[in-house]
Amino acid sequence: MTTTLRPAGPERREQDGARSRQFTVCVNGRPVGSVRIGADPRGGPGRIDALAIDEPDRRRGRGAVAALAAEEVLRQWGCTRVLVSVPDGAPYALRLAAALGYTETNRTLHKDLPADTAPSAPPAAASHDLPPGSVLRELTLQDSADWLARQRAGFVAALTAAGVPAEQAEAHAAASYALAFPGGTPAPGSALLALDHDGTTVGRLWLHTAPGPGWVQAVEVTASHRGRGHGRTLMLAAESACRAAGTTALALNVFTANEVAIRLYTSLGYRTTLRQLWKPLG
């Protein structure tokens, strides 16, 4: 039997060069599912955005062949790598991605937060029950410039280590930071915080509290002060700030290689909701 892709509509092209298209998965001309692919602009990565095989035709290799056919279309579009996002609770999709040579690079974690009945407060004042000797204070963008520069460099390094070409990694970081700091100021609902312990700055937090869910853009404990619970303190402070802002959930992205951070987040009740995987298109 021959599995092929048949266009289910015209290709969509955006002004910035992004493109996407929906296909019907066919076996000997008979529709058995669908797949949607996309490509980021300016030589960015390709994506398999959705892949579904009808129940009667599952477990026969149709999904694997359809994914390979989608990769071939992306090659023809000039993509040199392909990304897939697999939601938690989709073990078959994860097994399929692994079998086809995809590697997990990062995951999204999520935690629902109980409502805060206390009056709204500034982020630095919203952290309850800080350990003795610890103080949370707000930072200005100027105070955070060096730290944010290191965070950006680390973000680019993590992307390139995961296989993203350096030029694309730099462009992605630039776009992300421009969105986070429009006009050189933090976007509404953002907070830059420092954690001091016994008079010494031991960690920093970049948090987006609203509109929800809240999002931890970056959290870091100074290397010489790690292993003393300051990372947990910063995450609990982030949760408290979100609750004070009326946000009922907090999420973050973590690179799969950062096992220490993943253990911390798991111990705090965060659960994986999405896994990002990639594959080079040789």
**Domains 3-79 and 109-275 in one fold:** yes
Q: What's the pLDDT at 128?
A: 53
Q: What's the pLDDT at 83?
A: 94
Report d(CA 189, CA 238) in Å as an integer. Answer: 13
- Higher pLDDT pick, 271 / 88: 271
Check whether 68 has a pLDDT greater than 90: yes
- Higher pLDDT pick, 145 / 223: 223
Burial class for 119, CB neighbours closer than 10 Å (0-12, 13-18, 19+):
exposed
Helices and strands of the chain, counted as H and E runs:
6, 13
Q: What are the beta bridge partners of residue 122?
A: none
Architecture of domain 3-79: 3-Layer(aba) Sandwich (3.40)
Q: What's the pLDDT at 16?
A: 81
Place of tokens 């296989």: 163
Report d(CA 62, CA 79) in Å as an integer. Answer: 23
List Cα–Cα distances, 186 to 59, 85, 145, 223, 235, in angstroms: 49, 28, 12, 26, 20
Q: What is the DSSP letter of 246?
A: T
Give 253-278 pLDDT, tens digit per residue.
Answer: 999 999 999 999 999 999 999 999 99
Check whether 24 has a pLDDT greater than 90: yes
**Least confident piece of the model among 32-41, 83-92, 109-118, 188-197:** 109-118
Structural domain boundaries of the chain?
A: 3-79, 109-275
**Least confident piece of the model among 18-22, 84-88, 97-101, 111-115:** 111-115
Report d(CA 236, CA 225) in Å as an integer. Answer: 17
Q: What's the pLDDT at 265?
A: 97
Q: 109-275: which CATH number, 3.40.630.30, 3.40.50.970, 3.40.50.1360, 3.90.1280.20?
A: 3.40.630.30
Report d(CA 281, CA 45) in Å as an integer. Answer: 10
Q: What is the mean pLDDT of residues 206-235?
A: 91
Give 111-168 pLDDT, tens digit per residue.
Answer: 999 876 665 666 665 545 788 999 999 888 888 888 888 888 988 888 787 667 788 7
Report d(CA 18, CA 33) in Å as an integer. Answer: 24
Confidence of residue 7 (pLDDT cuts 50, 70, 90): very high
How high does pLDDT run on average in the chain?
89
